[in-house]
Structure 1
Amino acid sequence: MYSPEFLRPNGFKVNRPLKPEERLNELKKGEKIAEFDENLPLYQLSVIQQNSTFAEIVDRDYPIRGVFTTLALLIIVGLSWFLAAITFDTVSRWDAIEEYNREGMRNTLFFAALMVFLFIAFSAYGLFRESFSYTHFPLRLNRKNRKIYIWRRNGEVFSAPWDKTFFYVRCYSKGAVQMGDIVGHILSEDRQTVKDSFTLSSYTSSDATDLRLHWEYFRRFMEDGPAQPYRMLKICLPIAKRRETWWEGFMRLSLLLHGSVIMQIMATPFNLPASLGRVFAMRTSKIPRWPDWVEQECAIAKDDPYVRESGYEAPRETSQAA
């Protein structure tokens, strides 16, 4: 599901006080979560690359990228065809229409054109939120200088100190479904006012415990070192320097359903057209390139033993015959 601020021009609401529920659901640094299991894939297909210096993570709306584009293109094309058809039909029959009916026809055509324009304008706005932009909006956690680097939708990059960033589990409603994700707030000096906000990764869940365990993976990377996350990480999204393939995008959409393979197969009639919209969104967008000052601050040592590059996939284990 898209983030609640997906269609907001400026994203998160800022310059406001922290809410009581945000304080209640705070994710505290320096506190280990006992239920953390190294054998579970708690990074949840969010990591692009990882090493001793930083972990690079994909944005919140990346998994569902292309769905709104598909709907927007269908609406724009369908409504444009509809408006053109009724306009042509009206014009072609204009001489045959009684004089007293012409005023009503003009009003009907004007109202239809106005409604079509509003729907197309809304669809085009959402389309440009996904397409003609960037293939993804990455985030970096630098454990050496204790900084977070955030890529905005407009292409700007800003940094924030890890130790002064307030993280919490956000809960929100999507229709009848209760969902959650992890949000970071950059606070003012009084530690009471939200000055800026971002989501930590692409992972969402209806289970707050899962979200806390997901947070624990990155907290341990930042505070305990790269060794344990290095052992756990089995795959990195291959999107740091290239666009994903159609198949990779189709599979990413299919994985939105965390159920059985049968459920994923049943969703194919939806995921197949959505994957084509995803291709459109990716091909019309640029691959993000971090500015030089970020790359300099995130330099990787040549002998770094904990490098997991974009596209890394652990070899499958094979059983040997006795």
Structure 2
Amino acid sequence: MDKSNSSALRQLNSMVLITILTQIFILLKNALVASHFGVGIELDAYNLSFNITNFVYSFIGAGISTVIIPFLKEKSNKTALNIFITFIYTVSIIIFIFMLLFKNQIIAIAGGSNGIEFINIASNIFVYTLISGILNALIKFANAVLEFKGQFNRQKMIVLFTSIIFVLLLFFFKDISIYDFALILLVTTFISFIAHFYFLKRTNFDFNINFDINNDGFKQMLRLYIPTMMSSGVYQLSLLIDTMISARLDVGSISILNYANSVIGMINMLLLANLTSFMYPRLVKKSNEIDQQKSLIHYILLTNTLMCLIFVLFFIIGREGITILFERGKFYK
């Protein structure tokens, strides 16, 4: 047991280290974006398109790990898993086609009366973000399997690798348009997609398309998935509402909101996402409910303690931290 705990601790430490490196590059990316685009209409249009896509596909991807991981434990659940995966990603494709066909109307409703130029830019970028969104939804599935197999650090290394590529492209290409930026996002997402499914294939995970929605196991998975999806989607809904309100304010309001959310997202990714992805499969694999409850209590106490420390840190850093991160280039002007 001591060896197991020691190995788990080393794995968690590695995850945190990789995530810290990743967040450093994400901070560099945000600083470069601020320098390239500031808080103008182009970045507002991109952020609106991205946030709409992220809202829709967060509903699909958010509950995947929560539902799939317990069902990976038993081989008897294989048929239900196949049906569930087939159903969820068929719905994803239908949503993708619908949003692609009605992209102008969706942007016009979400963006309010922001003018023809804003709607045209956002609608054109929407194609890039939609493709990235459905790829990320598929990546969520690959992540769930890799987490169950204990391969936490492989997916973290993929995120680090693609973040480095993103930053290098932004650094070396000085005069990029907002469309170039959206294309870079799509390319790095596609690289991440290929890498995730390469490692997924190496786990010998086998999948077969199955549309038998009358299967009892599938119905059970769907019952678990819907409340998980809705609870995760509430947060994304609040972000989308904030974005839609910002779209009706002065030019640059959406971008400023997105910069602020990126700082908060960095903390969520560094602490909550790491701890959740690490602890949840371990809780599922525990043999009895008492051990699961004890581990869950320790996890909650650890998370709350860390979040309190982070809350204090935000007040200490304050205005100076934002200045160091963003105030240069077009953002400063």
**What TM-score bracket applies, with the shorter chain setting the length?**
under 0.3
Query: Which has the higher Rg, Structure 1 or Structure 2?
Result: 1
- Name whichever structure is richer in helix by fraction: 2
- Name whichever structure is richer in strand by fraction: 1
The two structures have a TM-score, normalised by structure 2, of 0.26
